Chains A and B, each alone.
Chain A
Amino acid sequence: MKISFPHMGTSPIAFKMLVRDLGHEVVVPPRPSTRTLSLGTEYAPEFACLPLKILLGTYLEVLEQGADTIVTTGGVGPCRAGLYAELQKKILEDLGYEFKMVVLEPPRWGYLDFLRKLRFLKGDRSWSELWRVIKKAWSKVKALDDTEKALHWVRPRELEQGSSTRTYQRALKLLDDACTEEEIKQARLEALRMMKSVPMDPDREVLKVGIVGEIYVVLEPASNLDLERMLGEMGVEVNRSIFLTGWTRDNAVLDSARVKHGVTVKKAAAPYMPEMIGGHGQDSVGHTILYAQDGFDGVVQLAPFTCIPEIVARSLMPQVSRDYDIPVLTFFLDEQTGEAGVRTRLEAFVDLLWRRRRKRAGAGLYKPVASPAAR
């Protein structure tokens, strides 16, 4: 079996190891490129959202490379993402590809179905072995996320532009090579040490911007034109509301917010959006409020063009922004989005944030916040 899966941020490094540990061959999905997107755009419906197009392009690329099984996730709606796999399978089959698509639905939708798919994927490994390799992959995902968080802290403070990004690539390589639980642990420490040793000015005054939005375009730099890097190099420390390691860890990051304000993201969003509308619409609103309460300078909302939940969130944002006095910049990303346009808007936004901070500092409103990584 030659297994492949979607490309989302740094996660392929961990999933690659997981698939190999299960004794299958792996076709590592390439980082989405212009070609990926053109392929996806050609065969996907015009008004499908960007992630569907990128994933379809990725699948076409990995099938070209000989993958015969694609593992992906489903969903319960009402966001369209829950039906991606269904539609992509139909499109690919219509194009004449023969392959197997394993769609992991949330277990609460059907335990038997979930277990059957796991049994198929685990091949001839035992269940305890499966558990062990999943746990190991999870450690790796956590290590990857920790390294990325360190990068977010270091990048705006680096002395030579681009040095932290280069170090980060080396750190990823290190994590990629780690195979056992112990090696991952060591690699994580080494990666964090490398990030901290990038020449930087820890006392530099930086802006703090939270990133909210739809999970795929937030996590996959190729889909948001490396927006985090652009911001970082403009002297902005970004704080991402979503990491693959999910809620448990997110909450740890926003720990101070939770303890201080005693609310969850959903509760924070409730006055504006009481209904779970699927996707990350409600989270975008909730996180924006929490960021505001945490003294962030601004929020960037990332959404794929035609994304239904984010459109609803977007229409409430002006009110949230007024009520909590926090600037919000929304990007609707599609295959036409160009880097120069994004950069220009970001530069204007950053200018605005600096001016706002100076004004507030003059009025005694601004209180510096400690970064999680600095503590």
Chain B
Amino acid sequence: MAVKVGIPRTLSYYTYHPMWKTFLEELGAEVVVSNWTTREILDQGVKEAVSEACVPIKLFHGHVMDLLGKVDLLFIPRLVSTRGRKVFCPKFLGLPDMVRYSIENLPPLIDVRVDLRNGRRELWRVCCRVAEYFGGGFLRTLRAYLKSLKALARFERLLRSGLTAPEAIKAWGRGMDASDVISTGRGKQCKPDLRFAVLGYPYEIYDPFVSVDLVGKLRELGVEVVTSEMLAPEVLRRQSARLGKELFWMYSDEALKAAYHFFEYGGVDGIIHVTAFGCGPDSMVDKMMELEAKRCRQIPFMSLMIDEHTGDAGVRTRLEAFVDMVRRHERSLPGGGGPN
């Protein structure tokens, strides 16, 4: 019987899942993903994690709990750096340690260290270390490695063509195109007349429970959603010059650069920053966005904090109010509106 490997459906799931799933399955493992976030999973996480941790980290603990007893191995790589010189938040760096010492009766962890600053071949070396757990030979590992790179490239292409991460993961799994998802997968919705940038971390925006289905709600209100993952890396890189000192953390850096991009070039009618209660890096990101929003007053900006108690009605009310305000703002502009 195949070895069952558990992957928690949060944090880096929304960024790297297709790649790891492909790689692990090519090595002969059976990948078990934890369930979509529910109230129980979140409550479990809040119970197990250290009380000062941020919501996403607590949620991660909950997803690990959800996998207990169902898997033989847990895949929790220690993500240090995957893009350029940027690193992950210190909580990602200590994630395997936090999980190991907070939760009892854990299956063995695959906690390989992923630090791609160590050179071009580092990812291959990381994959080899993962393959050791499954006893894959050289050729098998190489084939899995190449396939997983292809999977990641295809997944990122799907993201760039305007899909959210869960949509892109679904499309990737079923071999669909972005246009198929847009035409069939999204159900009934009116034709969007507004375009919002929703910025924040993939594991906050795309988790339908934590974000109280923010993206879906916006679409119902006739708003097209753009996220920082839908922007090309070059677009973000262009903003480097405008930041004095760049942020250290990959996700935060991308969110902030995306905000700077939209404030500079427009193309959206409003910007929403989604931030989690207790998030360390976000305290800086949010303030910097706010200061930038003060300088570029033509684009309305809202920051939305989510926590373990966020309710559906509260978020809906705030979104509706914001959308109404943007619509009124558009009408008051000379020429009667349209994206600026």
Contact = CB atoms under 8 A, between A and B. Distances in A.
A79 B283 CA distance: 13
Interface in B321-337: none
A93 to B, nearest CB: 9
A83 B50 contact: no
A95 B284 CA distance: 17
Contact of A45 (B52, B113, B286, B294): B286
B40 interface: no
Of the listed residues A77, A86, A91, A273, the one surrounded by the most CB atoms of chain B closer than 10 A to its CB is A77
A48 B247 CA distance: 15
Contacts, number: 115
B101 A316 contact: yes
A90 to B, nearest CB: 5
A332 interface: yes
A316 B245 CA distance: 32
Of the listed residues B49, B88, B244, the one surrounded by the most CB atoms of chain A closer than 10 A to its CB is B244
A153 B13 CA distance: 52
B249 interface: yes
A78 interface: yes
A31 interface: no
B340 to A, nearest CB: 24
Nearest to A105: B245
A309 B52 contact: no
Nearest to B111: A274
B53 interface: yes
A318 B245 contact: no
Interface stretch (B89-97, B206-214, B225-233): B89-97
Interface stretch (A15-23, A240-248, A277-285, A344-352): A277-285
Nearest to B94: A312
Contacts of A311: 50, 52-53, 91
Interface residues of A, number: 42
A314 interface: yes
A138 interface: no
Contacts of B97: 272-275, 312, 315-316
Contact of A316 (B54, B98, B281): B98
A78 B248 contact: yes
Nearest to A47: B283
B136 interface: no
A78 B89 contact: yes
B80 interface: yes
A47 B278 contact: yes
B94 A318 contact: no
B101 A80 contact: no
B280 A312 contact: no
Interface string A69-85: 00000101111101100
Nearest to A276: B93
Interface string B32-59: 0000000000000000011011100000
23 contacts: A45-B283, A45-B287, A46-B283, A47-B277, A49-B280, A78-B89, A78-B249, A82-B245, A83-B245, A87-B284, A90-B287, A91-B287, A94-B291, A94-B294, A305-B52, A306-B278, A308-B90, A311-B53, A312-B93, A312-B94, A312-B97, A315-B49, A315-B97
Given A77-B87, A314-B52, A318-B101, 18 more contacts: A44-B287, A45-B284, A47-B279, A47-B280, A83-B284, A91-B287, A275-B78, A275-B97, A275-B113, A277-B90, A277-B94, A278-B90, A308-B280, A309-B94, A312-B93, A314-B50, A315-B53, A316-B97
Interface of A: 44-49, 74, 76-80, 82-83, 86-87, 89-91, 94, 272-279, 281, 305-309, 311-312, 314-316, 318-319, 332
Q: Which 6 pairs between the two chains have the least Cβ-Cβ distance?
A: A77-B248, A312-B94, A47-B283, A315-B50, A277-B90, A45-B283
